[in-house]
Amino acid sequence: MTTTTTSSRTGVLAGLFTSLLLLSTQVLALDTDGDGIDDDVETALGMSPTRTDSDADTISDTIEFGPAQQASDADGDGIIDALDDDSDNDGLSDRVEGPGDVDGDGILNFRDLDSDGDGVSDTAEGTGDADGDGVPDFLDRSSDEDGDGIPDVFEGSEDTDKDRLVDALDTDSDRDGIPDSIEAGLTAEQLAADADGDGIIDLFDADQSTVLDANADGVIDSYSFPDADGDEIPDYKEKDSDNDGIPDHIEFGFSGLDSDSDGIDDAIDVDATGGLDLDGDGVDDAARAFDSDRDNLPDYRDLDSDNDGIADLIEVFQSFEALADANKNGVQDLFDAGVSMGLIRVDANDDGIDDTNRLPDTDGDGVPDFRDLDSDNDGIFDVVEGGGRDVNQDGLLDSAALLVTAPPDTDNATDFDSPDERSGPDYRDVDSNGDFDGTAGYDIAGTPFASFDANNDGRIDLTIDADRDGIDDSVDRGLGEFGNGGDADGDGLFNDEDADDDNDGLPDIFEGEVDTDGDGIVDRLDRDSDNDGLEDSREANLAPALNMDSNGNGLDDAYDIAVNGSSDADGNGLDDNVPLIDTDGDGIEDRLDSDSDGDTISDREEQSGLVFFGRDIDRDGIDDAVDVDQTKGVDENMNGIDDRYDRVIDTDGDGAENYRDRDSDNDGIEDGFENADFNKDGIPDRLQVNPKIKTSVGGTGSFGVLPLLSMFGFGALVFALGAMPAARAQAAQPACFNEQENEAQEPAFQLSAACTYIGASLGTSTLEPETKGTGFRLTEDGDLAWKAFGGVQFHRNFFAEVQYSVLGDAEVRSINPNAGAAAIRYAAPAVMAGFRLNGNRKSWDLFAKIGVASLLTESDSGRVSVEEDSSIQLAWAGGLLYNLTPGLSIRGEFERFSDDASSLTLGIAQALKF
């Protein structure tokens, strides 16, 4: 018992001691602000034990401190996060970054150096809003902040052009004037393709690709961007993509103008070109870099821009030794605005490139040597004088031939700036061997072109170079294309061997060397000689091609008189049986006439309605606006024109296409007078027939000729019955006035000839045809009206009449001020039954009539079409009659024939006596 009592007391005391110990611990470990951090810890670290946000950055100490009473110091700068205004030292305050976790990587934004996980640091992105979506760039999950189509993860945090805008936010990372999207090789179609609408174009979207996306950021992990010089730096981050010493800005082919000061050169600015801009970046979707030799490799990526076999570097700098980059900025000193070289430098756009043209142009023809196939214009191509291979003599280096970097200099004269211009490499020297002794010493003396050097300066006298290949047109066998020959239609025959260079079915000898549309492409090479969007063969109404060339001369057998046996008496190369189509008879064939039907509206507008770009990148004579090579549309007939714009358009279906039809909608108004949208419905009036103007509105139906004849027959019958002798009338029926009765007696009625009568009336009409929605308005709603009538009174109070009313014209005028006015004529035959109030032939009387009428209407002009809403009308009339004598009366009456026709007339009637 004692033992048990002692043990119980001991247990009670032990429990009490434990409780006191715990209580003392709690008292000692106070947390006044309840932030989960002991007061003594906060005090020791310099934090406030009474405030939940010691550094007042809007992020609580609980979050910033970290777990397990271990103070976090994210950037390791010795200042714990709870007291650090910028915990990750990225330049953005914790207050700005906040405690969220935008990219869901478990690292809160204020500790995350890349809060949105786009591969670009918060420091680089900053608090700006490049895409204007209201979310600061460092928190914006957008994968392409600058909207150039290239994901930010590829562009990175680098600032290539040192403009304080990282590449991920810069649409021109190297500041060469060429948008990154173009240098990255992205097409307008690729930039517009985003199937899932996630802001990542399909080309880079992991959801649309089989390329690996290991980090699951939605963007494929790798992509090979164009890198012309193979230095592993993509072209969009290099000022000289092909490393030929010539800045991309110069080789691209900019105009040097920026009319709207938006930073985009007019050459590619959609505001200046008037083209399309589907991606909204301000750059024309069809913008292309200059490609001198048309090899589909733009000059800024082409080591030999003119394909003359001499490297661009040599044609500009003359030697590798001349290359120099004093400030090591990647721009050669010759073009570097920051390097004096004793030159006056101009850099208006502050891009670091001297705005002054420093490109050598030996012959002064406006085409710099690196784009000129005959730099000294001596008739001998650079490819020949430079030591290259040109078997087909087209002025271009043959395929697979090696590029020349040390062109021959026969006379070893290296004074490139010599006044006599007879020094330097042979391709720049008009006297390559240095044996100058007058005209005979020039290189041109040994060529067929010596006669073109009238002033004896060793050069072909400069006239014009329409295709800008450096070969004067006077000796250029490849007019309209780059080089001296080529194969314009791709049929395997060089142009000088091909009887139909553009394969349009018209022999070259017939089309000749003229350039009808002034596009720099002669007609024999131009499939659309008048640039109206219609192929020459179509406008010439040529028969379908046979797709056979029996004699191999490049001209289809269907048009080759040497094969089909046709005659060519005039020697123009064209079958005499093929008529020269000249729709408007102005002496200009349709294929050369920009307005074939002479209606003042261009064929281009009537055919496609497009505003042409005025650009022909592939130099095939077809404007890029309709060129299937540029529109990427369908071209089933293989004529080079997008089928959307090559269709037959014949609005009125009369067999004449609109571009050959002076009245395309056959409304009587020539197209030239209605080439506008006067009715504001969005369709040019020349392409729509106006709805018919309705007349005879409010009738009871329609009937044909037979019912109309029946109506008049009934009226004639009634009239004839009135003329029958009284003996043939029904004796019980009251008769007409018996004029032989004693006047003192009440007049008696007897059916007789005196009960029939004829008359006429004259007055005015009210005519209101329905013009709403027809393109016409009513301008005169009344006219002079007259009527002839005949009738019979078969009862004291009842009578019947047959009548014919001519109601005159209603004038309507088109809302098109060029169309003028037209008249709608109204007439109305009718049969009526009437009632006279008292039948007194010697006094005033009121009468009313009702019957049927047929309202006849027609227009006096082919410009106006009339549609009778109803051919039969319920007509009525009312009026006042006065009997002058028993057989003679006058009357005034109002008649209504339809909702749109009525009349008010005064007439006279005379009884008949047989």
pLDDT at 403: 86
| Rounded-to-integer distance, Cα 601 and Cα 605, Å | 7
pLDDT at 799: 93
Amino acid at 295: D
pLDDT at 755: 82
pLDDT at 811: 94
pLDDT at 691: 82
| Rounded-to-integer distance, Cα 464 and Cα 237, Å | 38
Amino acid at 892: G
pLDDT at 199: 84
| Rounded-to-integer distance, Cα 591 and Cα 536, Å | 5
| Rounded-to-integer distance, Cα 254 and Cα 345, Å | 19
| Rounded-to-integer distance, Cα 806 and Cα 901, Å | 11
Query: Comparing C-alpha atoms, which of 440, 318, 433, 319 is closest to residue 375?
Result: 318
- At residue 371, the 3 state secondary structure works out as helix
Q: Tens digits of per-residue pLDDT, 397-442?
A: 887 778 888 899 888 755 444 434 456 899 999 888 877 655 457 8
Q: Are 659 and 606 in contact (CB under 8 A)?
A: yes
| Rounded-to-integer distance, Cα 27 and Cα 49, Å | 15
CATH class of 693-911: mainly beta
Instruction: Region of 106 please: left (phi>0), alpha (psi -120 to 50) or beta.
Output: left
Q: What share of the chain is helix, strand, coil (3-state, %, to 5)?
A: 20, 15, 65
What's the N-to-C CA distance of the chain in angstroms? 167
Residue spans per domain, the chain: 25-92, 255-288, 693-911
Q: Are 621 and 527 in contact (CB under 8 A)?
A: yes
| Rounded-to-integer distance, Cα 284 and Cα 276, Å | 6
Which helix (H) or strand (E) segment is 384 a member of?
A: helix 382-385
Counts for the chain of helices (H) and strands (E), in that order? 18, 12
What is the Cα 457 distance to its own chain's centre?
A: 50
pLDDT at 671: 79
Q: Are 788 and 806 in contact (CB under 8 A)?
A: no
pLDDT at 901: 95
Amino acid at 805: S
Listed in sequence order, the residues at least 6 apart from 488 whose beta carbon sits closer than 8 Å to its beta carbon are: 480, 481, 495, 498, 501, 502, 525, 620
| Rounded-to-integer distance, Cα 111 and Cα 646, Å | 62
What is the Cα 314 distance to its own chain's centre?
A: 43
Sign of CA dihedral 180, 184, 188, 193: negative
Distances (CA, A) of 698 to 691, 694, 828, 834, 872: 19, 10, 15, 22, 10
pLDDT at 450: 76
CA atoms within 13 A on the CB side of 518: 3
Residue 287 backbone dihedrals phi, psi, to 5 degrees: -60, 135
Residues with pLDDT less than 70, the chain? 1-29, 68-69, 131, 133, 140-142, 391-393, 413-423, 436-440, 446-449, 462-463, 474-475, 477-480, 485-486, 520, 617-619, 699-754, 840-842, 913-914
| Rounded-to-integer distance, Cα 589 and Cα 582, Å | 5
| Rounded-to-integer distance, Cα 631 and Cα 609, Å | 16
